[in-house]
C-alpha cells in the first residue's frame, strides 16, 4: 500500500476507542501495520477498519499501569508485526473529577498511573525494538498546558509532566534520530472521557473558547499523529503540537 507510513509497524496504546481508535485507523490508512492495546473497550471495530485498509492488526489486552504487562504486550506486538517503528502513547483519562483537597493517595495514584506511568512504561519497553529513526508520539491534553477544569488538578499535572518527559527523552534519543513529540488536544467531542466526566454545559463552554467555534474530532488528533510519525517530520522533535481550535495559543 502506498502512503507515508508504508511498511512501518506501529503500536497505539488505548487504541480501541475514541482518539486512540482514530489514531490506529489513520496510521493503517497511511500504510502502517498496527498493534493496539485495550483494557475494557472491544477492539473489534477498530481491528476491522485496520484490516479494511489492507493492513495487519495486532490487538492486545493490557492494563498499562502494570509494567510487566506492558513489557509482555509490547514484545508480543513487535514479534507479531516483525518489529516496531512507531509508538503512540495514548492511554489516559480524567478518571474522575475531584477537588484536590479531597483527593486521597489511592485516587491520586490512579490518575498518575494511567496518564503518566503508562507512557513511561510503554516508551521504556518500546526502546528495545525501535530502530534508529523511529518515532514516539504521546497524547497529552490542553489541561496540561493551561491547568484544566474543575476537579482535574492531578490529571492536568500528569499531562504537564508528559511534556517534560517528551523533551527530556527527545534529547536522550536525538543521537539515534528517534523523534519524540506530544500532541495536546483541546476539547474533542464524542470521546468516552468527555461523555463520562464533562457535563453538556461545560462542553458547550469549551467550544465557545475556540476561535474556530467548533469542537475537535478524534480524526483531527489522529491527523496530527500521522504527521509526527511520518518521514516528513524527521526534523521535528521535543515539540508539543496543539490541536485545540485556537482555544489556547502556544
CATH number at residue 49: 3.40.50.720
Q: Give the domain range for residue 31.
A: 9-242
> What is the reported pLDDT for 88?
98
How far is Cα 127 from Cα 105, in angstroms, rounded to an integer? 31
Question: Which pLDDT band holds residue 1 (cuts at 50, 70, 90)?
Answer: low
The set of cell numbers assigned to 12 is: 497505539
* Model confidence pLDDT, tens digit, residues 149-168: 888 999 999 999 999 999 99
Number of domains in the chain: 1
Q: Does residue 248 fall inside a structural domain?
A: no
Q: Does residue 103 fall inside a structural domain?
A: yes
CA 50, distance to chain mean position in Å, is: 17
Angle of helix 153-173 relative to helix 105-112, nearest 10 degrees? 40
How far is Cα 137 from Cα 158, in angstroms, rounded to an integer? 16
Q: Is the dihedral of CA 233, 140, 109, 113 positive or negative?
A: negative
How far is Cα 26 from Cα 46, in angstroms, rounded to an integer? 10
* Model confidence pLDDT, tens digit, residues 16-33: 999 999 999 999 999 999
Residue that the C-alpha cell 510519525 belongs to = 229
The burial of 96, by beta-carbon neighbours within 10 Å (0-12 exposed, 13-18 middle, 19 or more buried), is given as: middle
Question: Which 8-state DSSP code applies to residue 87?
Answer: E
* Model confidence pLDDT, tens digit, residues 100-131: 999 999 999 999 999 999 999 999 999 999 99
| Region 69-98 average pLDDT | 96
**pLDDT at position 85 over 70:** yes
The set of cell numbers assigned to 141 is: 491534553
Q: Does residue 247 fall inside a structural domain?
A: no
**pLDDT at position 90 over 60:** yes
Please list the active-site residues: 155
Question: Which pLDDT band holds residue 50 (cuts at 50, 70, 90)?
Answer: very high
> What is the reported pLDDT for 196?
62
Please give the full DSSP string across 159-193, using - where no structure is assigned.
HHHHHHHHHHHHHHHGGGT-EEEEEEE--BTT-HH
Amino acid at each position: 500500500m502506498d502512503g507515508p507510513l508504508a511498511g512501518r509497524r506501529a503500536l497505539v496504546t488505548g487504541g480501541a476507542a475514541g482518539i486512540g481508535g482514530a489514531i490506529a485507523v489513520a496510521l493503517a490508512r497511511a500504510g502502517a501495520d498496527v498493534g493496539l492495546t485495550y483494557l475494557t473497550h472491544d477492539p473489534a471495530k477498530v481491528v476491522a477498519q485496520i484490516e479494511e485498509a489492507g493492513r495487519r492488526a495486532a490487538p492486545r489486552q493490557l492494563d498499562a499501569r502494570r509494567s510487566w504487562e506492558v513489557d509482555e504486550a509490547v514484545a508480543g506486538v513487535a514479534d507479531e508485526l516483525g518489529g516496531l517503528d512507531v509508538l503512540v502513547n495514548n492511554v489516559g483519562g480524567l478518571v474522575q473529577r475531584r477537588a484536590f483537597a479531597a483527593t486521597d493517595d489511592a485516587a491520586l495514584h490512579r490518575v498518575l498511573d494511567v496518564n503518566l506511568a503508562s507512557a513511561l512504561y510503554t516508551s521504556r519497553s518500546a526502546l528495545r525494538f525501535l530502530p534508529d529513526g523511529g518515532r514516539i508520539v504521546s497524547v497529552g491534553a490542553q489541561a496540561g498546558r493551561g491547568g484544566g477544569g474543575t476537579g482535574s488538578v492531578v490529571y492536568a499535572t500528569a499531562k504537564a509532566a508528559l511534556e517534560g518527559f517528551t523533551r527530556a527523552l527527545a534529547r536522550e534519543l536525538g543521537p539515534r534520530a528517534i523523534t519524540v513529540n506530544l500532541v495536546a488536544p483541546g476539547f474533542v467531542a464524542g470521546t468516552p472521557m468527555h461523555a463520562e466526566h464533562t457535563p453538556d454545559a461545560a462542553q458547550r463552554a469549551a467550544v465557545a473558547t475556540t476561535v474556530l467555534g467548533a469542537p475537535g474530532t478524534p480524526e483531527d488528533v489522529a491527523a496530527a499523529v500521522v504527521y509526527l510519525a511520518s518521514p516528513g517530520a524527521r526534523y521535528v522533535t521535543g515539540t508539543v503540537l496543539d490541536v485545540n481550535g485556537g482555544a489556547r495559543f502556544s
